[in-house]
Structure 1
Amino acid sequence: MILTAPDLAHILEFAEASHLRSQADAFRTWSGDTRARAVAVCGGVAVLTDPAFGRKLNHVTGAGMDAPFKASELAELESMYAAQELETQIDLCPHAHGGTLALLAERGYAVNAFSNTYVRSLAVPDADRAAASGIEVSDDQAWVGARFAVHSVAGFSVQAVNRPPALLEALAQIALHRDDTRFFAASIDGQIAGTAGMSLIDTPAGLLAHLYIASTLPAWRGRGVQLALLHARLKAARSAGCTLASVTARPANASARNTERAGFSLAYTKATFSKRPA
Structure 2
Amino acid sequence: MTLFCDITLAGRIELAEARFIAACSEAAAARRGDGAGFVAPIAGGVASYAEPESPLNKVAGLGFAGPPAPADLEAIEHAYAARRAPVQVELSHLADAALLEVLAGRGYRLVSFENVLGRALGDPAEPVEAPGVDVRTSGEDEFETWLNVVVEASLHPDTQGVPWLEEFPREILENAERDAAGLVQRYLARLDGVPAGGGSMRVAGRIAQLTGAGTAPAFRRRGIQSALLSARLADATAAGCDLAVITVQPGSKSQQNAQRRGFQLLYTRAVLAHEAGTRSPASAV
TM-score, normalisation: structure 2:
0.89
The yes-or-no answer on 1:217 pairing with 2:244 is: no
Partner of 1:234: 233
Residues 113-122 or 249-258, more deviating: 249-258
Partner of 1:273: 272
CA contact (8 A) 2:18 2:61 kept: yes
- The 1:196–1:144 alpha-carbon spacing in structure 2 relative to 1, beyond 3 Å, is farther
SS in 2 for 1:52: coil
Partner of 2:145: 147
Q: Within 2, Cα distance between the matches of 1:276 and 1:118?
A: 29
Q: Within 1, Cα distance between the matches of 2:44 and 2:268?
A: 19
Partner of 1:36: 37
How many residue pairs match? The answer is: 269
Amino acid at match of 2:137: D
Question: What is the root-mean-square deviation in Å for CA atoms of aligned residues?
Answer: 1.7
Q: Within 2, Cα distance between the matches of 1:101 and 1:168?
A: 30
Once the two structures are TM-superposed, the CA of residue 80 in structure 1 deviates from its matched residue by 0.9
Amino acid at match of 1:80: A
The correspondence for 1:181, drawn from 178, 181, 184, is 184
Q: Within 2, Cα distance between the matches of 1:115 and 1:217?
A: 22
Once the two structures are TM-superposed, the CA of residue 76 in structure 1 deviates from its matched residue by 1.2
Once the two structures are TM-superposed, the CA of residue 52 in structure 1 deviates from its matched residue by 2.5
Once the two structures are TM-superposed, the CA of residue 95 in structure 1 deviates from its matched residue by 1.7
CA contact (8 A) 2:128 2:226 kept: no
Q: Within 2, Cα distance between the matches of 1:147 and 1:82?
A: 37
Amino acid at match of 1:20: I
The yes-or-no answer on 1:21 pairing with 2:26 is: no
The yes-or-no answer on 1:83 pairing with 2:88 is: no
Partner of 1:172: 177
Higher relative contact order (CA 8 A, sep 6+): 2
CA contact (8 A) 1:15 1:201 kept: yes
The yes-or-no answer on 1:5 pairing with 2:6 is: yes
The yes-or-no answer on 1:253 pairing with 2:245 is: no
SS in 1 for 2:39: strand
SS in 2 for 1:266: strand
Q: Deviations over 1:55-75 (max 9, x none)?
A: x21110101212112211211
The yes-or-no answer on 1:65 pairing with 2:64 is: yes
Amino acid at match of 1:156: S
SS in 2 for 1:248: strand
CA contact (8 A) 1:86 1:277 kept: no
Q: Within 1, Cα distance between the matches of 2:34 and 2:266?
A: 35
TM-score, normalisation: structure 1:
0.91
CA contact (8 A) 1:120 1:244 kept: yes
Partner of 1:163: 168
Q: Within 2, Cα distance between the matches of 1:70 and 1:149?
A: 40
Q: Within 2, Cα distance between the matches of 1:11 and 1:41?
A: 16
Q: Within 2, Cα distance between the matches of 1:167 and 1:196?
A: 18
- The 1:235–1:45 alpha-carbon spacing in structure 2 relative to 1, beyond 3 Å, is same
Once the two structures are TM-superposed, the CA of residue 156 in structure 1 deviates from its matched residue by 2.1
- The 1:144–1:199 alpha-carbon spacing in structure 2 relative to 1, beyond 3 Å, is farther
Once the two structures are TM-superposed, the CA of residue 45 in structure 1 deviates from its matched residue by 0.5
Q: Structure 2: any 5+ residue segments left out of the alignment?
A: 278-285
Q: Within 1, Cα distance between the matches of 2:229 and 2:221?
A: 15
